[in-house]
Amino acid sequence: MECKTTAVVSGDVNDSIDMPDLPRRQFDALIIGAGGGGLRAALQLANADASVAVVSKVFPTRSHTVAAQGGMNAALANVLPDNWHWHMFDTVKGSDYLGDQDAIEYMCRAAPTAVYELEHFGVPFSRLDNGSIYQRPFGGQSQNFGGDQAARTCAAADRTGHAILHSLYQQNIRAKTHFFDEYFAVDLLKDDQGYILGALAFNIHNGEPVIIEAKTTLLATGGAGQLFRTTTNALINTGDGMGMALRAGVPLQDMEFFQFHPTGIAGRGMLITEGARGEGGYLVNADGERLMERYAPKAKDLASRDVVSRAIATEVREGRGCGPNKDHVMLKLDHLGEDVIQKRLPGIRQTCITFVGIDPAVAPVPIFPTAHYTMGGIPTNRDGQVVMPVKDTPEEPVPGLYAAGECACVSVHGANRLGGNSLLDILVFGRAAANHIIDYLSENRYHRPIDSDSLESAVNRMQRWDRKGDGEGESVSGLRDELKMVMENHCSVFRNDEVLAEGVAKVEQIVERFKHARIDDHSAVFNTARVEALELENLLGVALATIHSARARQESRGAHSRTDYTERDDINWMRHSLYSLDTGLDYKPVRTKPISVDSFPPKARVY
């Protein structure tokens, strides 16, 4: 590994390789994405004296991790008895038995350390009276393998992601991580042996491109919530890393499993954290009934997210929805009292007042399921290495390429993620990927030359959008809006073959029309029009993977709920899907064997 002060200094311009005349910078490790996953990895690398560059299309502390509210799971047992094995059981059950049990064991065992590390980085966790870290109950958590409710979610009020992201950013500044703020990564660069060697990016402010050469590249670009019209996700969550992986020939795994969070503000999509129900909030229908008693008699409002989302959608479909259009249910929090709401849920209170003019300390809030989390993504092993099937082998690492965070699929969430497990996932596997990169760098000490075809193709992609529209072709923004509507109408909480088949045809048609699209003149400031076009191309790849995988999976499992195949089918479908742009769909087995304990065999999932 090169030290920051040796011959190839972090950020030096290197003209030794024959490539187009573009500025070039060299680093040991390139990290694309400055959310919790990317920053945790960067910190580990910088502290190990690797030269690290982090590229982010927004200022790092605006990455979407900042929006995480309720908290992060770890079996600390500060409030109720707990241990990592119970956490593992809940996660396997929550995943509807599609999660890989070795990765889940690894994550649940590592969770307490991950929390204590954050505490030492300066994260101001909420505290109990005895000074230990506050933990709240979240959905799908249990004691003793399915017994009483557990309290496992470590929180900094309802601003946990904000606290984590700012602490990690400050630690990275101290460790001298190099940041390319507001740079857009266009595509991965590689050599003719398939080694991934960095990326082409450009400065969003002035459009200047830069080749970032690196011995290793980590994708940490977050999820793809912008696939859907109503979403809790920010505008930046466009699945760019997944798009880059697809174009590099890497298939996407388990994309049919998209989480719809039960409590988005109806019609708007802003999230009300599950922590609100963890603090004692509950859902009521138009008749004032606590509706979850019907669907999850034991866990009630703290059943797993897929279960609660389906319950709300069913209430509305069966005519028990609230409001003039009977199109939502209500989340009741006012019985908790103003003190609890102000202490534990201050951000939620403000969001409700700002966006719907309702103070939850006084009145219930209208809610409906909202697109929230991408369970699938770029397939990796526990070390964060991107893996794909190669010739006759089941799968092999792509040399130099890593992925961590919401863009990756390791797979700890399987068919349904438990609340509080994503912050945990991004931190545990961001760190694990960095540790593997450190080893890789010690064996791969020199930069390899980038293949000119790979660079040319990335440059061409970027330059396509230099030309403004000539009046012909459809606008990028129009196509993007249409894609989001199609995905919302054809690939939502409930699905069936007829609806999905129509959706596949519509998405494929938008992909064709995009080839002749033009960028919008009105948004051609600071290169935002170009960014939006490149983002839409990424979203289209992710949409194809999602809707094709959803149509093919003829069963109901976790968040994938088919009205024409209502049962889980472990004989035919307990397998991961893989969708590639070149070869379409393929499947691989679930890793049911944990590292050190017995497997949890599939059972009926009751809450």
Ligand X SMILES: Cc1cc2nc3c(=O)[nH]c(=O)nc-3n(C[C@H](O)[C@H](O)[C@H](O)COP(=O)(O)OP(=O)(O)OC[C@H]3O[C@@H](n4cnc5c(N)ncnc54)[C@H](O)[C@@H]3O)c2cc1C
Least distance in angstroms from the C-beta of 468 to ligand X: 22
Is residue 547 within 8 Å of residue 491, measured between CB atoms? yes
Q: Does 168 bind ligand X (CB under 6 A)?
A: no
* Min CB(232)–ligand X separation in Å: 4
Distance CA 51, CA 170 (A): 17
Let me know if 159 is a catalytic residue. Answer: no
Nearest to ligand X by Cβ — which residue?
35
Binding piece for ligand X, criterion CB under 6 A, among 63-71, 302-310, 468-476, 554-562: 63-71
Select the residue interacting with ligand X from 26, 27, 35, 50 (CB under 6 A). 35
Residue 271 binding ligand X, by CB under 6 A: yes
Q: How far is CA 122 from CA 164, 380, 535, in A?
A: 8, 30, 34
Please count the CA atoms within 13 angstroms of the CA of 376 that sit on its side-chain side: 26
N- to C-terminal Cα distance for the chain?
A: 50
What's the min distance (Å) between Cβ of 586 and ligand X? Answer: 25
Does the footprint of ligand X cover residue 184 (CB under 6 A)?
A: yes
Binding-site string for ligand X from residue 134 to residue 163, where x marks contact by CB under 6 A and - marks none: --------------------------xx--
Told to check if 431 binds ligand X by CB under 6 A, we report: no
> Cβ 394 to ligand X, closest distance in Å?
26
Catalytic residue among 40, 62, 277, 305: 305
The residue to which tokens 């042996």 are assigned? 193
Name which position in 44, 51, 63, 351 contacts ligand X (CB under 6 A): 63
Q: 428 is written with which tokens?
A: 């545990």
Say which residue the tokens 């072709």 belong to.
Answer: 473
Question: Binding of ligand X at residue 230 (CB under 6 A)?
Answer: no
Q: State the burial class of residue 433 (Cβ atoms within 10 Å of its Cβ: 0-12, 13-18, 19+).
A: buried
In angstroms, the CA 14 to CA 184 distance is 21
- Buried-state track 504-543, b at ≥16 Cβ within 10 A, e below 16: bebbeebbeebeebbbbeebeeebebbbbbbbbbbbbbbb
Piece of 119-127, 400-408, 541-549, 567-575 that binds ligand X (CB under 6 A): 400-408
Q: Which of 56, 24, 27 is nearest to 181 (CA)?
A: 56
Contact 246, 581 (CB under 8 A): yes
Q: Is 65 in the site for ligand X (CB under 6 A)?
A: yes
Instruction: Please give the DSSP secondary-structure letter assigned to residue 62.
Output: G
Stretch 358-377 residues interacting with ligand X (CB under 6 A):
372-373
Binder of ligand X out of 10, 26, 61, 69 (CB under 6 A)? 69
The DSSP code for 551 is H
| DSSP designation for 486 | H
As beta bridge partners, residue 367 has 265, 329
- Binders of ligand X: how many residues, by CB under 6 A? 45
| Residue 64 in contact with ligand X, rule: CB under 6 A | yes
> Judged by CB under 6 A, does residue 259 bind ligand X?
no
d(CA 478, CA 354): 28
Q: C-beta of 317: minimal distance to ligand X in Å?
A: 26
**Contacts with ligand X, residue ranges (CB under 6 A):** 32-38, 55-58, 63-65, 67-72, 160-161, 184-185, 220-223, 232-233, 236-237, 240, 271, 273, 372-373, 405-407, 420-423, 426
Which residue numbers are catalytic?
Answer: 305
